[in-house]
Amino acid sequence: MNKESALVVFSGGQDSTTCLFWAKEQFKKVYALSFLYGQKHRHEVDLAREIARKAGVEWDVMDVSFIGRLGHNSLTDTSMVMDQVKPADGPPNTFVPGRNLFFLSIAAVYARERGINHLVTGVSQTDFSGYPDCRDAFIKSLNVTLNLAMDEQFVIHTPLMWIDKAETWALADRLGVLDLVRHETLTCYIRIPGDGCGHCWACLLRREGLEKYLAGRC
């Protein structure tokens, strides 16, 4: 097994950017792979490219637009309005069915062709916000499936799995990239970089976590 390199599934958002710099601390060689899946906020891919450049990691992007056409969701369907609050039950309409399943499966094939065994993703069960494909059980199950499917020994790393947004900010700070994550990433559903719109569910979670972390740091 190649223990010196890792591939990060990289959206250019807060979580994946934190994971990118976590991976740089853990591995000698880091690659970043972004996806075009029909998302309305395609600008995130441009930001991802720039962040990867600043991080000094190899970056690539793959067009998997078919994912956005498979199911109805507000991130890819122009006829749907994005959730401003989390629903009482069930996943929010920003859930893209199969997204992490496809991303990690494609990333594994991409990694295999380059002799990479370690995959890194920014999913979190603590802060999963109703997304079923962010759960630890799913990641562990997929890890086994990928190894069986390709007769490889992939290891999927989830540095954020058991920490909340405040702790994610703390990790970014420890890695020396708090300002970069705060001002140059895109989390907002309305496609506003940095602190975002301040109203959508993603921005509310992000801001709440930042305020909690900064308050505890004082």
Burial category of 104 from C-beta neighbours within 10 Å (exposed 0-12, middle 13-18, buried 19 and up)? buried
pLDDT of 113-154, one tens digit each? 999 999 999 999 986 567 788 899 999 999 999 999 999 999
Cβ contact 122:13 at 8 Å: yes
- Can you give the pLDDT at residue 80? 43
Q: What is the mean pLDDT of residues 181-202?
A: 89
Domains assigned to the chain: 5-217 (3.40.50.620)
pLDDT digits (tens, 9 = 90+) for 46-64: 999 999 999 999 999 999 8
> Mean pLDDT over residues 171-190, rounded?
95
Per-residue model confidence as pLDDT tens digits over 154-165: 999 999 999 999
